[in-house]
Structure 1
Amino acid sequence: MQRIDHVLALSTPGAQLTVTRWHFGMLGARPKVFIQAALHADELPGVLVAHEIKQKLEVLEQAGLLRGEVILVPVANPIGLAQFQNSTQHGRFDGQTGRNFNRGFPDLVDAVAALIESQLTNSAENNLHIIRDALSCALQQLTVNSQLEALQCHLFDLALDADLVLDLHCDSEADLHLYAHREQLPIVQVLGAYLGVAAILYADEQGGQSFDDALTRQWYQLKKRFPSYPIPVGCTAVTVELRGQSDVNIKMALADADAIIKFISWHSSPSANKVEALHTVQQKSTPLNFTEILASPISGIVSYTISYGVEVSPGTCLAVIVNPISGETLELITQSGGIYYARNASRYVAAGTEVCFVAGDSIQRNTDNLLSS
């Protein structure tokens, strides 16, 4: 085990911020696994899970049972972690730029395509190494103009050549769920089975260049650019939503860490040992653009009528919005059947606020950006 502290570029004089990571296993060994928590710095369940993962990785490493290399970043966002106003943490948006910490990660496709065009071969293995080298080169050529960009480029650099990336987040109030690329569902469903998730939401592109989406998207885009060459997908990346923001306790963290370690061990095992799980695990997965989002058309007090984490039928009332001045009440009724997997923790909402989320099967959203702000 090795600890490395990275000081962010463009820090305020006298107030340096550091990203700390832990390396387990042999440097440069395969498969390489990258795990980070709290990119949204006020989403803390993943930090506790990362703490437990660290203890388990130490045991595996000391026993000589760890295959490949694992990089663990237990607190990925020191900028957001330090953002407090009136004793309230603000960890989702950068206070300087107003940007969501998990949007706008680098798009390297054009730069990489130019670098590899004359280098690609008829060997998928050779192309894998060529593209990974080009990705690293393209990232190093970017100009960093803010501390946020310095943070994003550093995290991207750590994960860029990883075989597996787990980005640990949480929702406002929610059951366990995952975000993934459509073509990576067979592997992601195994992770979902270990964790016992309520929903798996998938898309070819989520929009917004979130961390996991940016890492996988570049491989699929390069496959489209160069269809005559065998280009493998060099990275499986998943966003793991560890319930809600208040779901921070050691018992759940231990269970989640144990599930993630078991999944990593399975993923790192020889290919022949994976086949049975890939064929037998069949978890229900939902296209992300079929997620029904119930927003409140009025401002008011929110009274939820049923608990999340259950399957609902079309026509089910999930919440009642009450205007305490006019006395107006309005029911939020789902049009789509599916898993009611998340809801807003706020009990007062402004008009237009997203309140309830259902992984449905009949209401399709036609938008390029499938993620909330």
Structure 2
Amino acid sequence: MSKEITWTQEKKTSFQEDLLTWYRLEKRDLPWRESTDPYRVWVSEIMLQQTQVVTVIPYFNRFMEWFPTIEALANANEDKLLKAWEGLGYYSRVRNMQHAAKEIVKTFDGKMPNKIEDILSLKGVGPYTGGAIGSIAFSLPEPAIDGNVMRVYSRLFCLADDIALPKTRKVFDRYVRDTMSQSEPGDFNQALMDLGATICTPTKPSCETCPIQAYCEAKKTNTISKYPVKKKKEKAKPLYYVADILQNDTGAFLLEKRPSDGLLADMWTFPMREVTKKDYDRFSQIYDSHDVSTGMVAEQLNLYDEVENIKDKNLLGIVTHIFSHRKWHILVVQDKLNGLKDTHLTNQKWVYLDEFPQYVFPKPQQKMVELLKKSMNN
């Protein structure tokens, strides 16, 4: 059970003033802060989920150029939409945004609703994003609680609640609501975000330059390193694949479109097949044997590859990629064909290397393409 809040109103007001004064002087210069337009706030906050600010900035600028309004987002071609998001990952985020944009056009005349319950009704908008939009765009006194804010408040009040547990958010919601500025909630929330990102960092926080150190219980008791309390994340489940970079006599490569549901839906990759760890380890050993012949490689991999007329086969390397709950281990193989081969699947295409930018590639595919380019330059 978390502690009761014992601050007087005078202390709360002083805390708010000190934090907001610091923010006005030190706030980060970010493109989505050029205005309080709710659409810009919404797009930036969705992009910033699971992604660092420095990575988001060029994506945000391009997204706003391609889809400058909610209506433009609602009517966007899906391939172009996914291309705009390519590399950010968690593609359900942008699909949910388009779904929500269509709802805004249909129900709210193309304008972001200004009531918190309506904002939260939109697909993909949870309490954090809703709080950010509501407070920054409409001055609603709604908290926007992310990892940065929980870290600041866990130290501010020495809260031992495990921030990895969903139920803990209610604890922080109560503390932030009770101490936040009612007149400038947007700046208050953004000040907490900046404070957590630049001063009250996970390790080696800059306590001596912190504008609210006088209010911090963890600073007073020298227990900063104990907060926040967070249980260890479960290890990502390993999955093993062989990816085939198949090239025909014209120099084109075979790409395959993934299913319309599930992970990396509707994105393009080289053909991939899941294999057992035993087979993956066996293939990896072949890759590690530098003196192995191409013929031996082809023979060892015949379990996976049923393509006829292969004239050359090489193991290019290994690619790994971590998603939130799984880790892909991909052994990348390159095949060259004798003659042309028509694809027999509707979700496959022969594509030349200079045409790759026209297709939406997930991060693992981008890594495989880099491996291919490296081998071509050697």
TM-score range for the pair, normalised by the shorter chain length: under 0.3
TM-score, length-scaled by structure 1: 0.23
Greater share of helix residues, 1 or 2? Answer: 2
Q: Which of structures 1 and 2 has the bigger CA Rg?
A: 2
TM score, norm. by length of structure 2 = 0.22
Q: Where is the strand percentage greater, Structure 1 or Structure 2?
A: 1
